Structure 1
Amino acid sequence: MGTITLSDIKIRDTLKPGDLGYIAYIHGELYAKECGYGINFEAYVLDGLKDFAKGYDPKKDRVWICEHDNQIIGCLVAQHRSEQIQFRYFIFLPEYRGLGLGKHLMQKFIAFMREKDITHAYLWTTEEQQAAMALYTRFGFELTEESTSDSFNKPIREYRYDLELA
């Protein structure tokens, strides 16, 4: 694989059969390798994706599926939650990190919020996601809650970040 640039990545905002299953697969495999998360984490992701699929409304929800050479390499999901939106499933395969894709998707997420007149978003993340947390705060998300969880087959700190748009 030669040098990959942001312009090599296609981003689609339509959901196709198989996408959510693949998103679960990427989360399960990648976080097992990188963070030591177990099968309970994959079950947690699958539960959330099942709820997203059942409630999916293209007028209220948005997906950004990132593809390179017709392969899903990352994604972001904006899931409606009454008057707010949840930022979820933000992940890229390691070889696609550092291209500016995260920043690009953050801009798309905030543009979607503005388009839908949504002023409040939130997300949950874990202590290992230092680079992601730096990106979140750069875009105005603020840490609002901390807790300890054992849902990932090991004790871990979880963090909630909230974003208020003016």
Structure 2
Amino acid sequence: MLSLKNPSFPEIHINNHFEPGDIGAIIELHGRLYHANFGFGLGFEQYVAHTFAEFVCHFQEGKDQIWIAKANGHIKGCIALIDRGNKTAQLRYFITTADYRGRGLGKLLFDFFMQHIRAHLYQKVYLWTTENLKAAAHLYVQEGFYLAEQRESDTFGIPLIEQKYHWELPEPDNTK
């Protein structure tokens, strides 16, 4: 089990394991934040509750990963990796609280995610997001993700555009 301190955020501890209360807090954080910031309805929180429960119940130690950032015992952000087999991973549950948004915590969590991807030689990564999450999309594109698919949806109680991003391990340069 990993527990990290980062000099950029001395008050933040990042764990890669669950502690009592984390599961409900992560679901609640998604429900409250996405409703307050984007108007998502209960359908979104239900979706997160269902899929996050599946993630937790089927968590494969050594394959699936989670990074949970906490300050004073309160979750301030998280990101998860679900191993989908064949050297493919899915990025999920990437979120930071309003008081840490724009300060670099999301980038720090995303960097941990990408370091893990590279260290474990994943060939492909994908994620689903929505068009209105532009700051996160900017991080993805900077890291080499590309927009692979878009579709209209009202699954979360409002009309929106869902987007699927892909990342593939760059081919080695054999010309040297």
| TM more than 0.5 | yes
Letter of the 1:61 counterpart: D
Query: 1:65-104, CA deviations, whole angstroms, 9 ceiling, x for partnerless residues?
Result: 0001121111001111122111111101111112211221
Whole-Å separation in 1 of the counterparts to 2:49 and 2:13: 25
The unaligned stretches of length 5 or more in structure 2 are 1-7, 171-176
SS in 2 for 1:7: strand
Q: How far off its partner does 1:18 sit?
A: 2.4
1:8 paired with 2:11, answer yes
**TM-score of the two chains, using structure 1 as the length reference:** 0.93
Task: Give 1:65's aligned residue.
Answer: 68
Aligned CA RMSD, in angstroms, stands at 1.2
Q: How far off its partner does 1:165 sit?
A: 1.6
Whole-Å separation in 2 of the counterparts to 1:50 and 1:70: 21
2:166 to 158, 162, 165: 162
Kindly, what percent of the aligned residue pairs are identical?
39
Whole-Å separation in 2 of the counterparts to 1:17 and 1:68: 15
The unaligned stretches of length 5 or more in structure 1 are none
Whole-Å separation in 1 of the counterparts to 2:162 and 2:31: 17
Give the paired residue count: 162
Whole-Å separation in 2 of the counterparts to 1:38 and 1:89: 17
Whole-Å separation in 2 of the counterparts to 1:74 and 1:106: 11
Q: How far off its partner does 1:17 sit?
A: 3.3
SS in 1 for 2:60: coil
**TM-score of the two chains, using structure 2 as the length reference:** 0.88
2:109 to 105, 110, 131: 105
Whole-Å separation in 2 of the counterparts to 1:13 and 1:68: 15
Instruction: Flag the structure with higher helix content.
Output: 1
Whole-Å separation in 1 of the counterparts to 2:107 and 2:10: 14
Higher relative contact order (CA 8 A, sep 6+): 1
1:55 to 49, 53, 58: 58
Counterparts of 1:1-166 in structure 2 under 5 Å? 6-83=9-86, 84-166=88-170
Query: 1:111-141, CA deviations, whole angstroms, 9 ceiling, x for partnerless residues?
Result: 1112222111111111110111111101111
